[in-house]
Amino acid sequence: VTRVLIAHPASYPAERRYACEVVLEEFLGFDVELRVEARCDWELTVAGLEGRLRMPDVFFAIPPARWLTASSLPGDDGALAATPVPYLAAATYQRQQPTLDLDVFGNAFFFLTRYEEAALDERDEHDRFPADASWAGRNNLLTRPLVNEYVDALWRAMQREWPGLERRPREFRLQATHDVDWPHVTRGRTLRQVARAAAGDAVRLREPGLGTRRLAAWARVRAGDFSGDPGNTFDFLLAESERRGLRSAFYFISGRTAGEIDGCYDLEDRPIRDLLRKVSARGHEVGLHSSYGSYLDPCQLSHEFARLRAVCRREGAAQAEWGARQHYLRWRTPDTARYLSQAGLCYDATLGFATRAGFRAAVCYEYPLFDLETGRKLRLRERPLVAMEMTVFADTSQRYMNLPRLEALDYMRTLRDAVRRHGGTFTLLWHNSTLLSKRQQNLYRETLDLLTARDG
């Protein structure tokens, strides 16, 4: 493996090491060796080769007193010398003294660690960091995986300097995921609630037949037969994935911290145990959907994960690696990542914004998370969520972006093309409970076709 040597100033050594390891080792496939020098920029050399490449050191020049404070954040107006700024201008490269005018490592650190989320107090009604408060959201750049773009700029400069180098090859992949909030939509409901939902089907989903199915299912579910419940779309989801050679991930709620918000089922229910076995036997993935109140509660997270593993082991659905996604995408930087890592999860798939689809961490590759408080790289890896159906499609929710079908598909295409350009992973979230109507099922098929299309 090619070894890249990086000379840098003395400040923030652990943070610099993390950024260099993610960019050069994880993303590009090189070994790195860091060295502190009395200098005020980054300098890259390659073991055994002539030549050097310099980059400005901007982000890690933040004075320690301003670290993780709002005053250390980049402005929206472009380059200010004193503050770290995610450069937008095309990186310039000078031949005479090879310099890339872009702080690749500092910018990558800023986005990947969600630094701004730890530095700002803005929260929405679910205590989530709002898309509109993010730098990329404010600058309308959530559809661009900027970190991937910075890494490409670095790679192009490295190629000019060392033409023989090869980077790690990447291939586009679609990852379908399904949070199991309401496996059955008539279970635990009163007849009055089901009748109201049935009336809503006729108006909102323009599908009166669904209401009849709801009412019929309600009576049968009370008698213990869950097969006809309109929310029981798991066979459909499995078949659509298998037809396209996809391995779906199903995240199950394993604990209860917020009453009805955490759904209406228990892992020990017979239909749920049957489902866990089926998902596993058909080669798909089971994961944890950590409950609403778990994101700041390490004991609760550990308990929920242990319980899911115990039930799965008993049902013959054990796995070597486990991932999680937080219910409602509730997340606090850096606490939630630390707790998930401590609980023993291998990866998290929460980092997307509920209100706007795109690249919350500005990247479409999985990567290890970093604990901004302890200064440590975590074992937990992030697999960023690119789009949730309810964020984008008006036909699956009337909140958030609320786009009609064609505009929504266009938006998904934009995101897909960005992921494709970098050979990244498109993680899609589609709930079993938003496939109730024929219209919604067709929309799901259309979305999968779009995201798996060879071209166009």
**Neighbouring residues of 125: CB distance < 8 A, sequence distance ≥ 6:** none
- Which C-beta is closer to Zn ion: that of 179 or that of 315? 179
Give me the helices (H) in 251-296, please. Answer: 270-281
Structure tokens at 181: 């909030």
- Which C-beta is closer to Zn ion: that of 148 or that of 326? 326
Closest approach, Cβ 202 to Zn ion, in A, equals 26
Closest approach, Cβ 247 to Zn ion, in A, equals 20
Q: Are 395 and 36 in contact (CB under 8 A)?
A: no
β pairing state of 99-100 and 93-94 = antiparallel
Strand partners, 377: 370
**Neighbouring residues of 338: CB distance < 8 A, sequence distance ≥ 6:** 298, 371, 373, 374, 378
Dist CA 388 CA 396 (whole Å):
10
Closest approach, Cβ 126 to Zn ion, in A, equals 11
Dist CA 411 CA 269 (whole Å):
39
Query: Interaction with Zn ion in 86-105: which residues (CB under 5 A)?
Result: none
Query: Interaction with Zn ion in 327-356: which residues (CB under 5 A)?
Result: 327
- Which C-beta is closer to Zn ion: that of 231 or that of 424? 231
DSSP symbol at 49: S
Q: Is residue 24 classed as helix, strand or coil in its secondary structure? A: helix
Binding mask 289-328 for Zn ion (x = CB under 5 A): --------------------------------------x-
- Which C-beta is closer to Zn ion: that of 309 or that of 327? 327
Dist CA 51 CA 64 (whole Å):
33
CA 142 to chain centre: 13
β pairing state of 99-100 and 173-180 = unpaired
Dist CA 55 CA 43 (whole Å):
6
Closest approach, Cβ 388 to Zn ion, in A, equals 10
Dist CA 53 CA 42 (whole Å):
8
Q: Is 43 in the site for Zn ion (CB under 5 A)?
A: no
- Which C-beta is closer to Zn ion: that of 189 or that of 327? 327
- Which C-beta is closer to Zn ion: that of 98 or that of 183? 183
Amino acid at 191: L
Closest approach, Cβ 389 to Zn ion, in A, equals 12
Query: Interaction with Zn ion in 360-389: which residues (CB under 5 A)?
Result: none
Closest approach, Cβ 179 to Zn ion, in A, equals 4
Closest approach, Cβ 68 to Zn ion, in A, equals 29
- Which C-beta is closer to Zn ion: that of 330 or that of 377? 330
Closest approach, Cβ 222 to Zn ion, in A, equals 25
Query: Interaction with Zn ion in 147-186: which residues (CB under 5 A)?
Result: 179, 181
- Which C-beta is closer to Zn ion: that of 43 or that of 389? 389
Closest approach, Cβ 325 to Zn ion, in A, equals 8
CB-based burial of residue 269 (10 Å sphere; 0-12 exposed, 13-18 middle, 19+ buried)? middle
- Which C-beta is closer to Zn ion: that of 136 or that of 276? 276
Closest approach, Cβ 76 to Zn ion, in A, equals 32
Q: At what angle do helices 298-314 and 270-281 cross, to 10 degrees?
A: 70
In order, the DSSP letters of 384-426 are ---EEHHHHBTTT-SSTT-B-HHHHHHHHHHHHHHHHHTT-EE
- Which C-beta is closer to Zn ion: that of 250 or that of 365? 250
Number of residues that bind Zn ion (CB under 5 A): 3
Footprint of Zn ion on this chain (CB under 5 A)?
A: 179, 181, 327
